[in-house]
Chains A and B, each alone.
Chain A
Amino acid sequence: MAILGAIHPVLTAGLSDREDGWRLAEYEARGGYAALRRILSERIPAEKIIAEIKSSGLRGRGGAGFPTGLKWSFMPRGMDGDKYIICNTDEGEPGTFKDRDLLCHNPHAVIEGMLIGAYAVGANRGYNYIHGEIFALYRRFEDALAEARAAGLLGRNILGTDFSFELFAHHGYGAYICGEETALLESIEGKKGQPRFKPPFPASFGLYGKPTTINNTETFASIPFILNMGGEAYLKLGSPNNGGTKLFSVSGHVERPGNYEVPLGTPFAALLELCGGVRGGRRLKAVIPGGSSSPVLPAEIIMDCALDYDSISKAGSMLGSGAVIVMDETVCMVKALARLSFFYHEESCGQCAPCREGTGWLFDVLARIEAGDGRMEDVETLARVAGNIGGRTICALGDAAAMPVQSFLTHFREEFLYHIAHKTCLVPREVQWAGSGFHCADAGQQRAGRQG
């Protein structure tokens, strides 16, 4: 069971370790598809559903935190022709691994959420775009779709009503950029995954040029639960304007890394405690609270933060996708940033100039500093280049690449200066090795042997 702990669980409530806990029968036993059945039998108007979602304060779980009900209300109603609803399971942000557990253990919650979404926005077709590196879960989702189709929950005249909806699984090939919603659309259309310039937004010109709504997997999975418990109740689970619970993927230097479901507004300290605290009782150094693209926060700031969109934002970072990357005192921040910059440099789609050229430039400079060839003006260069990328690109990947650089430099500038001046890390290599877990005395010798 990959959900390691929870406080007031909603999405993961009742999930068991059993091999077939994901199956339709089990989901229905947990109360699944009740919301859909009620909507269809009572012919609840779409406006009412959207109002309910709005009142729940549900905000997109993919990273941007856009209010879901508001997004659904953008879809043009009373327009003929195809409309699409798309689930974004292209979970590529370093540190994020919640959606794959949802697909693994509760795929029918996603299907039901998409069905309700389709009903609410008037879509007749849906796709779940699944990250290429979790292919086994693409299969799992296909199996779940087959179950739903066999049970008359998908296809024409669902549950004997005039509501019809086709849902397909579609797997990508692991490009980070395809998690950007318009690149995802391009990818489904069979083209190279490159973001589109917006406007027009997908709600007016989406997949194949048709109105399209795109939401994150966790967002969809939350929908049935919200409608079952009522928007108000869901909102109350969390903090004001930050309704409900959220899955947090905690990775890095904690005793028990994994997925945790806690209400929004839970203090970071409580989550850390749920994970068993910092590994080996070491001192917390910094936390990236919302996936690799959100700004890093040093220990003293994050320890005072509550985990919701507004508090984290006030502290100078973003809740993002809820990927909490915990770093203890053995981490060299230069090395950490160099690794992050490598990721963005590799994953930039290459379409627009600032990101294509800038991410490479950032990585080159950081790799040079890390290798001991840094120059004093490099710190300025990094800040300037990151500033020149941010806000000037077609999609948010440019900002995602820039923000870590800017925040690392803000909070850990002296480590960079030390690294340049001394051509080595402020955190001694033995300390880093000790902290990594892979370089215990034994492993260190092995590594030395390999290099020799």
Chain B
Amino acid sequence: MLEIEIDGRKTSVREGSTVMDAAQQMNVYIPHFCYHKKLSVAANCRMCLVEVEKAPKPIPACATPVTNGMRVFTHSPLALAAQKSVLEFLLINHPLDCPVCDQGGECLLQDIAVGYGEDSGRCREKKREVAPKEAGALISMREMSRCIHCSRCVRFGQEIAGVMELGMTGRGRHAEITTFLGQSVDSELSGNMIDLCPVGALTSKPFRYTARCWELARRQTISPHDSAGANLVAQVKDGKVLRMLPRENEAVNECWITDKDRFSYPALSSPERLARPMLKQGGVWREALWSEALDYVAHGLKSITAEAGGDAAAALAAPHSTTEELFLLKKIFSRLGSRNVDCRLRQQDFSLDGQRAGASWLGMTLSELRHVDSALIAGSFLRKDHPLMAQRLRHAVQKHGAQISVLSVAADDLRIPLFARETVAPSRLVFALAAVLKAVLEEKAIAPQDQEGLAAVTVSGAARKMAESLLKGENAVILLGQAAEQSADFGVMHRLSARLAEASGARLGFLGAAANSVGAELLGFGGEANTDSRQMLVTPRRAYVLFGVEPELDAYDPRLALRALRSANMVALFTSFRHEAAMEYADALLPLAPFTETSGTLINAEGRIQRFSGVAPPLGDARPGWKILSALGSLLGFADCNFEDSAAVWRAAGIVSRGDAPEFAAGLDNGLRAAPVVLRKRASEERGLERVADVPIYFTDPIARRSAPLRQTADAAPPAARMAGATLARLGLQAEDAVRVRQGDGELAGEANLRAVLDARVPEGCVLISAGHAASASLGGMFDPVFVERA
């Protein structure tokens, strides 16, 4: 510990701290622009110059290490003169256009100018003008003359997002922040640069000129868009969400959020919102009153289950629904005598249902990801599926050389320096994982006992490297992602990973499918007592309740889902949006309040219980899900389904907190009931190619899908048939050819006309066709065989 005195007050700080760290620890304010606690030190704005005893010149607090007995003066005449002169320099070329600047009122330069500036400028020369830049749909770089060259955005790209999309060109007064020639800013974390920009140079394109910051109410909420559960501030004016910002929570999202969290909100006030209940009568849709619509659904459910038993009704819910909504849905269905509730629509292998020791979770806290020294990530599009977790792993590599290994079905660029990587066809993923297990067992000289088929597995060099890294790691983890969960071999992979974790001493974790997947599992979804989503669709039921899902986009096999829904007698869709595709198969559309208009609880991948309240009133007649379900339960005559408020629902749901850390749920366990691992040889895949499918980042849920700004990003490009060069050549195709893609046969046959794209990231013999998009919704299973031919 080092002693330091700042402005006459003493404190002691850790070795290696800077003067700025010490000042923040003591709550002493030192003005700064370029300094940011999460970014490397640049010391280029010079605003934090302070006086240090015995130093002849003022020194920057952000870059100066504390020495023992140091005496610092932040407001001495020398320090103040330096700070004022720096501010004067920063202002001479800054356009004083605060009245028309979006940053006005929340601008660091404005604030510091009030504290340290003169009342009028002394520079009479012409101001610099900087040409506007084009950076894509999310960030506006129209007013780059405002830039003060703090380089926070550049450092953010290099250090946090892992991709340098902005840089500084030119020297001296000609220095400009700009994109690379002709390129836009496409990082999935890019919006954070708007927050980081201390002035109005980088502004939010969707928010620009819609409101002044002081007109907006700040209300707290939780992101439903991915399994991290980022903490958000929704800024609301006249009942409308006009902006989403991160709410700092070091344990969850630090001070970052993804662009999906930030820019999905325009969908919430889009014309596609469903504002009134609607019923289809005689093939014609009409608006209805809530009483009519609920009567219709209650009557349908009651009569169908009375007639054909509880099994004739099924409910498919979105895994980002609140715990309260899922609880009520499950309760109503169990009262109807139905076991048919599930929210794992993208999964195809449910062989471990009833075998799990607890709810599948990350296996560690989110913040612990920063400290892993070895990680094996299997079957994940990590960077786009879990941007905030990828960011933490990137940090682990950059800051203490963690070894990240990746087993994946497409060699997507994680922007993380990888230790080892193997990219295989989806059907080979389980074998690649088995090879790592085999290598670990060999390394530790453990005889594989019951691991049937392990003998036949060949250990590649990469697998051996991964095994060694896991064994060497003191804080190692094996993380399974969505592509693993969606694979036909998920059960085997879970077993293999559990064995691997046990043998190597690593932890096992699941990156998590959605914002409340853990919550759903804690409620018993996916347990022994429930039917899985695939069974519900393979054997069509007579009545379906769809809760926040759009099955042709959200299901593993859209054709299977559509066949089941079309043959049903009643389909009731709880949705926030007028979903055109559903108008064909649904009978009732019930306007469901999205997360901003309801209260509830989400349990994220690390098991953190996060309760939130509505930030805006429901649009039109939309109502919170728990209220609708409560009313539906009453109508069905289930008195115990009627609740006064969502807090009461939460209490009834009976989620137990961990005794030692009540912010986390108890009952998280990635262990399995003992059973042998059976590696089955797959039937020959000679029939055509294997499909690989990701769910592009902005197509994961109904809200993100409908965000106009997100739809204009590079990540929202429509799906294509992406293949390696060899695959294209084998099919006699060339890049950019129009192709017809077919999947399935008989009544489940589906086809789509797509563009062939040369993509070296895709393993040979595979075609990557993204799911979750209307253009591929006519196809079959995400990882099923596929035929490609010239259109």
Contacts and interface: CB of A to CB of B under 8 A. Distances in A.
Interface of B: 41-47, 49, 56-58, 60, 63, 65, 82, 85-86, 88-90, 92-93, 122-126, 128, 148-149, 151, 168, 170-175
Contact of B149 (A175, A346, A353): A353
B168 A392 contact: no
Interface in A342-394: 345-361, 364-365, 368, 375, 381, 388, 391-394
Contacts of A357: 89-90, 92-93, 173
A392 B85 contact: yes
A78 interface: no
A356 B57 contact: no
A192 interface: yes
A348 B86 contact: no
Given A197-B41, A350-B149, A353-B90, A392 B49 contact: yes
B122 A381 contact: yes
Nearest to A367: B125
A375 B57 CA distance: 31
B634 to A, nearest CB: 66
Nearest to B150: A353
A391 B171 contact: no
Interface centre among A355, A356, A361, A375 (most CB of B within 10 A): A356
A346 B172 CA distance: 6
B172 A349 contact: yes
A364 B172 CA distance: 13
Nearest to A350: B175
Nearest to A177: B171
A32 to B, nearest CB: 39
A437 interface: no
B122 A388 contact: no
Interface of A: 175, 177, 192, 197, 199, 345-361, 364-365, 368, 375, 381, 388, 391-394
A376 B89 CA distance: 21
Contacts of B93: 357, 360
B57 A391 contact: yes
A361 to B, nearest CB: 6
A356 B44 CA distance: 10
B126 A197 contact: no
Q: Is the interface of B mostly helix, strand, loop or mixed?
A: loop
B179 to A, nearest CB: 16
A353 B32 CA distance: 12
B86 A354 contact: yes
B89 A388 contact: yes
9 contacts: A346-B171, A350-B168, A351-B44, A351-B151, A352-B44, A353-B47, A356-B173, A364-B126, A388-B86
B172 A347 contact: yes
Contacts of A197: 41-43, 60, 63
B173 A393 contact: no
B171 to A, nearest CB: 5
Nearest to A351: B44
Given A375-B124, A388-B85, 20 more contacts: A197-B41, A197-B63, A345-B173, A348-B171, A349-B171, A352-B43, A352-B45, A353-B47, A353-B86, A353-B89, A357-B90, A357-B93, A357-B173, A359-B173, A368-B125, A388-B88, A391-B58, A392-B58, A392-B82, A393-B46
Contact of A358 (B60, B65, B89, B122): B89
A175 B171 contact: yes
- Of A353, A360, A368, A394, the most chain B CB neighbours within 10 A belong to A353
A349 B88 CA distance: 19
Contact of B175 (A356, A368, A375, A391): A356
Contacts of B41: 197
The 4 tightest CB contacts between A and B, nearest first, are: A350-B175, A388-B85, A348-B172, A357-B89
B172 A359 contact: yes
B78 to A, nearest CB: 10
A353 B44 contact: yes
Given A199-B65, A361-B92, A361-B123, A392 B86 contact: yes
Nearest to A193: B171
A354 B172 contact: no
A394 B122 CA distance: 24
B152 to A, nearest CB: 13
A287 B487 CA distance: 80
A175 B171 CA distance: 10
Contacts of B86: 353-354, 388, 392
B125 A361 contact: yes
Contacts of B43: 197, 352, 394
A350 B130 CA distance: 14
Contact of B171 (A350, A381, A388): A350
A341 to B, nearest CB: 12
Contacts of A388: 85-86, 88-89
B45 A353 contact: yes
B419 to A, nearest CB: 20
Contacts of B123: 361
A167 B43 CA distance: 33
Contacts of B44: 351-353, 394
B43 to A, nearest CB: 4
B46 A360 contact: no
A330 B47 CA distance: 43
Nearest to B86: A353
A199 B90 CA distance: 25
B282 to A, nearest CB: 70
B63 A345 contact: no
A358 B89 CA distance: 6
Contacts of B170: 350
A346 B175 CA distance: 11
Contacts of A353: 44-47, 86, 89-90, 148-149
Contact of B57 (A355, A358, A392): A392
A361 B126 CA distance: 9
Contacts of A364: 125-126
Contacts of A175: 171
A358 B92 CA distance: 9
Nearest to A346: B172
A350 B60 contact: no
Contact of A192 (B47, B58, B149, B168): B168
A375 B122 CA distance: 13
Nearest to B126: A364
A350 B173 contact: yes
Nearest to A198: B63
Nearest to A375: B124
Contacts of B89: 353-354, 356-358, 361, 388
A290 to B, nearest CB: 21
Contacts of B168: 192, 350
B81 to A, nearest CB: 8
A347 B174 CA distance: 10
A361 B121 CA distance: 13
A212 to B, nearest CB: 20
A354 B46 contact: yes
A356 B46 contact: no
Contacts of A359: 172-173
A38 to B, nearest CB: 43
Contact of A356 (B63, B88, B172): B172
B125 A365 contact: yes
A123 to B, nearest CB: 25
A78 B171 CA distance: 40
Contacts of B49: 392
Contacts of A392: 46, 49, 57-58, 82, 85-86
Listed residue (B56, B170, B171) with the most chain A CB atoms within 10 angstroms of its CB: B171
A311 B170 CA distance: 39
Nearest to A398: B46
B214 to A, nearest CB: 28
B91 to A, nearest CB: 9
Nearest to B45: A353
B125 A347 contact: no
Nearest to A399: B57
A178 B663 CA distance: 54
Give the residue among B44, B86, B122 with the most A Cβ atoms within 10 A: B44
